[in-house]
Amino acid sequence: MRSRERLYRTEAVILRRSDFGEADRMLTLFSAKYGKRRVIAKGARKTTSRRAGHIELFNRVELQLATGRNLDIVTDAQIVDPYKLLHEDLPRLSHAYYIAELVDKLTVDDEDNWPIYKLLIDTFAALNGSAPLDLVARYFELHLLNLVGYRPYLFQCAVCQEDLTEDAERWSPAGGGMLCQRCAAREPHALPIGLPAFKALHYLQREPIDATEELQRLSEPLRREIESVLRATLRPILERDLKSVEFLDAVRLAS
Ligand SMILES: [Zn+2]
């Protein structure tokens, strides 16, 4: 018999789900109280399982868990938000996969981080709403980088830390941000970035996530510019491309 003390509750978002044994599933959660945690949902693949519908990918759930010998076990699950549209629309779904994979790759197990949880639920809510999906992803990248210790340099030069002025026009992927003109001259791998893209990044770093709706009018080339500097910055941190990026690009090409 488990003692009562070994049961605990937390809210969480399901980042990843895989089969485990005959009828169970392993879930990778990002939880409000304990950060990323892998747990087991017993019997979740049986169609008669009462909990099965609640522990779908990307759902926001309130869970009760029991401490297990290796992995903890889900004993109850209630839906807080199913983010319904994420499951019904391929562009939204491909963005959700990308967000979930980024969180999974950039965080370690069992380290609580409420700001990352808050960012994740705000981002999924935005993807489930009317905000432009690509800009929500950019917002998420900028803020997640900040929360895992790689805040992009948008006010000071990434190399010499001097205050940037509006004549800055190069981005260093390795340095993680903008370069002043002097440092840019010495960095052959720096990427060009125009003032409007630089300003849009500023705006996204400073404002709440709803601000993505106000950037709807940004041109497609400008949005691609922002995307390419952030992707180039994430690549050395992740040490490889994400599987979900291929999915994201394939969905974009098809639409
Ligand atoms: Zn500099």
Distance 168 CA to ligand 1 centre (A): 10
Report d(CA 129, CA 131) in Å as an integer: 6
For residue 45, pLDDT over 80 is answered with no
Distance 233 CA to ligand 1 centre (A): 17
Geometric angle at alpha carbon 87, from 51 and 210, rounded to 5°? 110
Tens digit of pLDDT for each residue in 202-245? 999 999 999 999 999 999 999 999 999 999 999 999 987 889 99
Distance 148 CA to ligand 1 centre (A): 23
- What's the mean pLDDT in 80-101? 96
Distance 157 CA to ligand 1 centre (A): 5
Q: Which amino acid is at 15?
A: L
Helix (H, G, I), strand (E, B) or coil at 189: coil
For residue 2, pLDDT over 50 is answered with no
- What's the mean pLDDT in 163-173? 95
Distance 112 CA to ligand 1 centre (A): 35
- What's the mean pLDDT in 73-97? 95
Ion ligand 1 — residues with CB < 5 Å: 157, 159-160, 180, 183
Write down the pTM of the prediction.
0.93
Burial class (CB in 10 A: 0-12, 13-18, 19+), 77: buried
Distance 199 CA to ligand 1 centre (A): 18
Residue 153 per-residue DSSP state: B
Go through the domains of the chain in sequence order and give each one's CATH number.
4-82 (2.40.50.140), 85-254 (1.20.1440.120)
Distance 153 CA to ligand 1 centre (A): 11
Distance 215 CA to ligand 1 centre (A): 29
Distance 207 CA to ligand 1 centre (A): 25
Distance of CA 238 to the CA centre of its chain: 13
Helix (H, G, I), strand (E, B) or coil at 228: helix
Q: Cα-flanking dihedrals φ and ψ of residue 63, to 5°?
A: -115, 150
* H/E segment holding residue 73: strand 72-81
Distance 152 CA to ligand 1 centre (A): 14
Burial class (CB in 10 A: 0-12, 13-18, 19+), 80: middle
Neighbours of 144 (CB within 10 A): 21
The DSSP string of 125-147 is HHHTTTS-HHHHHHHHHHHHHHH
Q: Cα-flanking dihedrals φ and ψ of residue 82, to 5°?
A: -85, -5
Band of residue 198 on the pLDDT scale cut at 50, 70, 90: very high
Report d(CA 252, CA 255) in Å as an integer: 5
Sign of the alpha-carbon dihedral angle for 131, 135, 137, 138:
negative
